Chains A and B, each alone.
Chain A
C-alpha cells in the first residue's frame, strides 16, 4: 500500500485542515457554503445574529435588528444538516497513466471533498458504498479510497450506469475522471440529472496529456486498449492532438452546460487545494 500511504500522508491531512479553514473564510464572505453553479440559495438556514466586529462583511448587517435595538448585528447562516455527497472515482486503467498517476490525484480530490462534507456536518460515500457520517469516521473514507485503485475492465460508463440503476439517486454527485470516454458514456449522468442529482464533473488530465512531448517516432501504448499506435510526434502531430483534445473537452463542456453540471478540468499534477479553491469553488464552465 505504499501508493495509498503516499497519497494520504500526514502532509496531505494537514493541507486538508488548512483547506477547510480557507473554505470557511470563503463561506463567511459569501454567506453560504461552497458556491457552485446551479446550487440553490435555500440550502443554507438562518442561524442567528452576533455583534458586529471590525472587518466583518457589512453586506451581512441585520438592519432590522439595528432599527429595533440600535446596535449593529451580523446575520449568521448554517448549511443544511442533511448535505450528502456521493463520490465516484473513475477506476478505468486510463487513470493509471500520467506522471504522477491521475488516479492518485483523483483519490486525493475525492478525499478532500469527503473531508469537507464531513467537517460541515454532512455525509460522504463512495458510489455504491454506505454513507459515512462524522469527521471522526474520515479514516474509513480514506480506506475506501485506498481500495479504489484502477482495475482492468473497469470503465466510467459502466460505473455511471450502475449508479443510475440504483433506486435512490444521489443528491450531490462528484464524478472524478479523466473524461477520456466517448460522449455516450456520460448518458447516465443526464438521467441522474433528471432525478434532481446535483452533478459535479472534475476532469483530471496528466501534464503529458495536455502537452505530449515532441518525441519523434513513438509507439503510443493505450493502457485501456492494450494496443500500440505508431506515430511520429512532430510539431504538426502534436498540434493535431491538442486540437482533438480541445474538441473533446469542448463537447463535454457543451454537455455539462446543457445538463446544468459543474465542470472543472485540471492538471493532475496540480495541488488539490488550488483545485478546490479555484476551479470548483469559483465555478467552471
Chain B
C-alpha cells in the first residue's frame, strides 16, 4: 500500500478542495430584513440552528468518502495474512519397485529430521503412497521434473543412490541408503551358451547353470555361468528370485523346404520341430510363414532387380550372394501385397520377385534363393525374413524368458552411503495477502453513485 502513488496523491489532494468548496457552499447566506420584529417571534418558537450552520450535507460526505476510498484503492491496500508454513520438497530416487523398496520409511524419518518442522512434499518416479509421481526416466530427467514441480517450496531435499554433482544446486543431497544393498541383481544376460549376472557385491545364488567365472570391481560383481539344459534360477541377496525359462523356436517345414541348404539353415536356427509351430518354412499354408517357389514361370532373361535397401528383409545382408531371378519365376500380380523386390527389363517392370503380405505375416519368394545361395547369405536372408514375419530375428531372440520382479537400475543396485552435501536453506515464504484494491474500488464507485443520486435529489428539491 502506498498513498504516495500519483493517483492516490491526486485523489487525496482533491479532498481539501472539495471540503473548502462544500464549506463555502454551506456557509449561511445573509438575509437582509427591515426589522427583526417578526423574526424574533419566530426564533422564539424554533431553536436557532447554530449547530447546523455548518452542517455538511449528504452529498459532501458521499463525495468525500468516494475520494478517500478511491485514494485508498489507488494505494493498493492489502490485508496481510499469516505466513504459510515453509514447504520442503523431497526427491526420493527410486531403488526398487513400489512396495519392495526396503528403505522408504527411513527416508521419511530422515526427511522429517532434516526438515525441522516444515511441511514435506515427497516426489518419486512412478509415485508411491504419499508421494507425488514423476515420470520415470534418467536421473537428470527426473531431477528436471522435480525442480519444476517444487518451485513453490522453500527448500529441497534430495535422497540419491549415489552422489550426483548436478543435484547439489537444487538443495541438500543425502544418501538414499545407510549401507549398500547386498547382492542386488540389476542385469541378467542369458544366452544359449553363456549366462552373465551383474549385481552389487553380495550373495547371489544361481541354480541350473554352472559357474564359469566371477569378478568384483568398485562394488559391482559380474558372475558368468554356462547354462544347463533346463530352466535357470537366480536369487539375489535381497531374496528376490528370477526364473529364466528356455525359449526354443518351433518351426514347421513344408514340402518346398527339403533341400540340403534348407536343412543346413534349419539346423542353424537351433529350432525344434516339436509342438505347435511358431513359424512355417516352405509350406503353402499356415502363418507366419516364409514361402518359396511361390511364383510362376516367366522369362526373366536380361532382367534386373530393384529393391528398397532400407526394408528389414535386407538388413545387414550381402546382396551380392543372392540371385532372385535365376529361377525365372514371377509372383502373380496382387495389389494386396507389398512388393519388396521387383524385376524389370529396360525400365519396364516385369513383376514382383519378393512380396510381404499386408499383415506382414507372410514373405513370399517367387523362386528359391535359399537353395543356391551361400550358406552365410542364405542364413542372413532367412534370419531377416523370419524377423519380418515374427517381429524379432532368431539371432536376436532371447534364449530365455525371464520371470520375476523388475530389475532395479544399476544406480539403484549400486547405491552407496555418502556424506550429505549442501544445506537446507528455508526461505521465508512471503505472507499471504488479500488485495483490497478491487473491493475499495467497488466501494468508491458505489459512493460516487450515491453522491450522484444525492446531487440529483438536491437538484429536484432546491433549498
Contact = CB atoms under 8 A, between A and B. Distances in A.
Interface of A: 92-98, 102, 178, 180-182, 206, 209, 212-225, 227-233, 236-237, 240-241, 244-245, 248
A209 B45 CA distance: 18
Given A230-B48, A230-B50, A230-B53, A223 B30 contact: no
A219 B28 contact: yes
A221 B42 contact: no
Across chains A and B, which 7 residue pairs bring their CB atoms closest together, nearest first? A94-B34, A97-B34, A222-B36, A232-B49, A214-B463, A217-B28, A94-B35
B52 interface: yes
Contacts, number: 109
A102 B34 contact: yes
B151 interface: no
A213 B30 CA distance: 12
A30 to B, nearest CB: 36
A230 B34 contact: no
A222 B45 contact: no
26 contacts: A92-B35, A94-B34, A94-B35, A95-B34, A97-B33, A180-B37, A213-B31, A213-B463, A214-B463, A216-B28, A219-B29, A220-B31, A220-B39, A221-B30, A221-B33, A222-B34, A222-B35, A223-B32, A224-B34, A224-B35, A229-B43, A230-B50, A231-B49, A236-B46, A240-B42, A240-B46
B34 A209 contact: yes
Interface string B51-65: 011010000000000
A92 B53 CA distance: 31
Interface of B: 26, 28-43, 45-46, 48-50, 52-53, 55, 463
Contacts of A220: 31, 33, 36, 39
Contacts of A219: 28-31
Given A217-B52, A217-B53, A180 B28 contact: no
Among A180, A227, A231, residue most surrounded by chain B Cβ atoms (within 10 Å): A231
B8 to A, nearest CB: 34
Nearest to B55: A217
A221 B49 CA distance: 15
Secondary structure at chain B's binding surface: helix, strand, loop or mixed?
mixed
Contacts of B26: 217
B209 to A, nearest CB: 114
A179 to B, nearest CB: 10
Contacts of A236: 46
B35 A225 contact: yes
B48 A180 contact: no
A230 B50 CA distance: 7
Nearest to A224: B35
Contacts of A98: 34
A178 B34 contact: yes
Contact of B38 (A217, A223, A232, A245): A245
A229 B30 CA distance: 10
B42 A241 contact: yes
Nearest to A101: B34
A233 B31 CA distance: 10
Given A214-B463, A217-B52, A217-B53, A229 B34 contact: no
Contacts of A241: 38-39, 42
B292 to A, nearest CB: 119
Contacts of A225: 35-36
Given A213-B463, A217-B49, A237 B42 contact: yes
Contacts of A222: 33-36, 39
B463 A229 contact: no
A215 B463 contact: yes
Secondary structure at chain A's binding surface: helix, strand, loop or mixed?
mixed
A229 B35 contact: no
Contact of B29 (A182, A218, A224): A218
Contacts of B32: 97, 221, 223
B39 A96 contact: no
Contacts of A237: 42, 46
Contact of A182 (B37, B46, B53, B463): B37
Given A217-B52, A230-B48, A231-B42, A180 B29 contact: no
Contacts of B38: 180, 241, 244-245, 248
Contacts of B29: 215-219
A105 to B, nearest CB: 13
A146 to B, nearest CB: 21
A181 B39 contact: no
Contacts of B46: 231, 236-237, 240
A63 B462 CA distance: 67
A227 B48 CA distance: 14
B32 to A, nearest CB: 5
A273 to B, nearest CB: 25
B56 to A, nearest CB: 12
A102 B32 CA distance: 13
A200 to B, nearest CB: 21
Nearest to B40: A229
A227 B34 contact: no
Given A97-B33, A230-B48, A237-B46, 18 more contacts: A92-B35, A95-B34, A181-B37, A209-B33, A213-B31, A215-B31, A216-B29, A217-B53, A218-B28, A218-B30, A220-B31, A220-B33, A221-B33, A223-B33, A223-B34, A229-B40, A241-B39, A244-B42
A212 B463 CA distance: 12
A216 B463 contact: yes
Nearest to A217: B28
B231 to A, nearest CB: 111
Nearest to B29: A218
A98 B35 CA distance: 11
B53 A227 contact: no
Contact of A227 (B31, B36, B49): B36
Nearest to A97: B34
A182 B41 CA distance: 12
B43 A231 contact: yes
A214 B463 CA distance: 6
A98 B32 CA distance: 8
A244 B35 CA distance: 14
A223 B35 contact: yes
A96 to B, nearest CB: 7
Among B38, B43, B48, residue most surrounded by chain A Cβ atoms (within 10 Å): B38
A253 to B, nearest CB: 16
B41 A244 contact: yes
B39 A93 contact: no
A265 B37 CA distance: 17
A178 B38 CA distance: 12
Contacts of A248: 37-38
Contacts of A240: 42, 45-46
Nearest to A232: B49
